[in-house]
Chains A and B, each alone.
Chain A
């Protein structure tokens, strides 16, 4: 593989940027998975709702309001989805959960297609985020004119901040302690007087809210069309599996891994299409619980 330093750096950045979107979606997915034990195939649809809400608000009221409104709206939509539908399937087999969430995803996708049409809606990037970054200014070892879109850099920063915030919430707060413990033994927490289901409902909302943040910043990058949800769902789901069910660290690691793999195999079209599955197969053969999967979670 003959690669210049310039090309390598660009592939690295693209890998990070791809990984960022995957991580933001996989983070919510793995949180919901680890706490509620539900395979939420409608999570891609939550991202879809987020990008359509974001583009509608952005193109009329401005980006600032989209940023303020979309994540809390997604939180509310997530909680409503959990209370209204998903909670009825907790005691049902996983196949039922997959069918109902997948069905919901299709309904939401078609609904959005009906309202907004099947074509991509242009997402106007706010002026402060527009333009390109001259990489040579920051990385002097690069030669010549190497640039990267500023917005994609911002997306990476947003992912880092969001991931850090979720980790802080889970590891530095009492709420986080209850959630981490609840992932391991929800029944025991109930025996200790904790209304764990109410907290898990909040986690579902948080997962949706992260999809909301992903939508606000990812919309301009992934485009705004009805197929985007499903396109992102499959890799995100595999990332959850590769990382280890319910493991946030695993989701981050696997998300970056898959992003990098896709970015670096981009020139080789055949390899590029199968690389995610290839990695999944290899990792699951070596580590059936995934990279950082804990014993007892979702088993």
Chain B
């Protein structure tokens, strides 16, 4: 019996993703791998296709995936519907937080626990986010921006999350609140949850991330460590304007 050396398949992997809205391709030939527990910053200018890439991975109906493969922990996501991808461990914390209006803070969390498999219990969530417990009976849309971001993150942790997709978690928040959210995300990092973060505030994202991917007009133009991006001035000027 011979032993063949094989590289272990990556925890998360996407291959040649092509996705479109209407007539225009917003994600073109995107491929990358993420080892388990890593945090990747997906960077690029406005409209570069970052959010679209996250939505494609979460299997949103729009943009529509025309070709390519998405694998998470040995499961093929590319033929799944959004709720099936969520059940396989994808959690998208959307741009604008997408807190459900008209129901309470606690009901927003309960809604994350309708379908198996579950993550944190409500008790655990409240012990980590005491502010949410204070406001649990409050209509969720009355929360401040920072609290809504907290709720959106808590909602993701209420599920058995294997790949966390953070879309602009710092967007529209005051600097003090950004620091608070940063602390929370550092905690998430310590838990070892594999994460992709999309953020206009590239420096903040790179502080959190192990690796960086820069995307431009739907195409990957750079892959490397977070430190390499911080050190490479031409790269930063050309694609990130920082």
Q: How far is the CA of A193 from the CA of B115 in the complex (A)?
A: 6
* Distance of B108 from chain A, by nearest CB (Å): 8
In the complex, whether A96 has a CB less than 8 A from a CB of chain B is no
CB atoms of B83 and A194 under 8 A apart: yes
Q: Determine the chain A residues whose CB is within 8 A of the CB of B101 once the complex forms.
A: 184-185, 294-296
The chain B residue with its CB closest to the CB of A295 is: B101
In the complex, whether A188 has a CB less than 8 A from a CB of chain B is yes
In the complex, whether A134 has a CB less than 8 A from a CB of chain B is no
Q: How far is the CA of A202 from the CA of B155 in the complex (A)?
A: 26
CB atoms of A194 and B91 under 8 A apart: no
Q: How far is the CA of A293 from the CA of B164 in the complex (A)?
A: 35
CB atoms of A184 and B111 under 8 A apart: no
Q: Determine the chain B residues whose CB is within 8 A of the CB of A216 once the complex forms.
A: none
Contacts A193-B115, A193-B159, A195-B83; A294 near B107 (Cβ below 8 A): no
* Distance of A298 from chain B, by nearest CB (Å): 14
* Distance of A68 from chain B, by nearest CB (Å): 32
The chain B residue with its CB closest to the CB of A196 is: B83
Partner among B61, B81, B86, B102 whose Cβ is within 8 Å of the Cβ of A192: B86
CB atoms of B102 and A193 under 8 A apart: no
Q: Determine the chain B residues whose CB is within 8 A of the CB of A194 once the complex forms.
A: 83, 111, 114-115
The interface bits of chain B over 140-166 (1 if a CB of A lies within 8 angstroms of the residue's CB, else 0) are 000000000000000100010000000
Interface segment, one of B92-100, B202-210, B214-222: B92-100
Q: Determine the chain B residues whose CB is within 8 A of the CB of A114 once the complex forms.
A: none
CB atoms of A187 and B159 under 8 A apart: no
CB atoms of B98 and A193 under 8 A apart: no
Q: How far is the CA of A181 from the CA of B100 in the complex (A)?
A: 6
Q: Determine the chain A residues whose CB is within 8 A of the CB of B103 once the complex forms.
A: 177, 180-181, 184
Contacts A180-B103, A296-B101; A191 near B58 (Cβ below 8 A): yes
Interface size class of A (residues with CB under 8 A): 20 to 34
In the complex, whether B60 has a CB less than 8 A from a CB of chain A is yes
Q: Determine the chain A residues whose CB is within 8 A of the CB of B83 once the complex forms.
A: 189-196
CB atoms of A188 and B94 under 8 A apart: yes
User: Among the interface residues B82, B101, B115, B159, which one has the most CB atoms of the partner chain A within 10 A?
Assistant: B82
In the complex, whether A10 has a CB less than 8 A from a CB of chain B is no
In the complex, whether A121 has a CB less than 8 A from a CB of chain B is no
Q: Determine the chain B residues whose CB is within 8 A of the CB of A178 once the complex forms.
A: 111, 114
Q: How far is the CA of A39 from the CA of B86 in the complex (A)?
A: 30
* Distance of B26 from chain A, by nearest CB (Å): 17
Partner among A180, A187, A192, A294 whose Cβ is within 8 Å of the Cβ of B115: A192
The chain B residue with its CB closest to the CB of A195 is: B83
User: Among the interface residues A174, A191, A195, A296, which one has the most CB atoms of the partner chain B within 10 A?
Assistant: A191
In the complex, whether B188 has a CB less than 8 A from a CB of chain A is no
Partner among A181, A185, A193 whose Cβ is within 8 Å of the Cβ of B107: A181
User: Among the interface residues A188, A194, A296, which one has the most CB atoms of the partner chain B within 10 A?
Assistant: A188
Q: Determine the chain B residues whose CB is within 8 A of the CB of A187 once the complex forms.
A: 60-61, 82, 98
Partner among B82, B100, B155 whose Cβ is within 8 Å of the Cβ of A190: B82
CB atoms of A191 and B82 under 8 A apart: yes
CB atoms of B100 and A193 under 8 A apart: no
Contacts A184-B101, A191-B58; A174 near B82 (Cβ below 8 A): no
* Distance of A98 from chain B, by nearest CB (Å): 23
The interface bits of chain A over 179-209 (1 if a CB of B lies within 8 angstroms of the residue's CB, else 0) are 0110011011111111110000000000000
CB atoms of A192 and B110 under 8 A apart: no
Residues of A within 8 A of B (CB): 174, 177-178, 180-181, 184-185, 187-196, 294-296
Question: Can you offer 29 A-B residue contacts whose CB atoms are under 8 A?
Answer: A174-B110, A174-B114, A177-B103, A177-B111, A178-B114, A181-B100, A181-B102, A181-B111, A184-B100, A185-B98, A187-B61, A188-B94, A188-B98, A188-B100, A189-B111, A190-B81, A190-B82, A190-B83, A190-B86, A191-B60, A191-B82, A192-B83, A192-B159, A193-B86, A193-B114, A193-B116, A193-B159, A195-B115, A294-B101
Residues of B within 8 A of A (CB): 58, 60-61, 81-83, 86-87, 91-92, 94, 98, 100-103, 107, 110-112, 114-116, 155, 159
- A185-B101, A192-B115, A192-B159 given; name 18 further pairs at CB < 8 Å: A177-B103, A178-B111, A181-B107, A181-B111, A184-B101, A184-B102, A185-B98, A187-B98, A189-B111, A190-B82, A190-B83, A191-B60, A192-B83, A192-B112, A193-B83, A193-B112, A193-B114, A296-B101
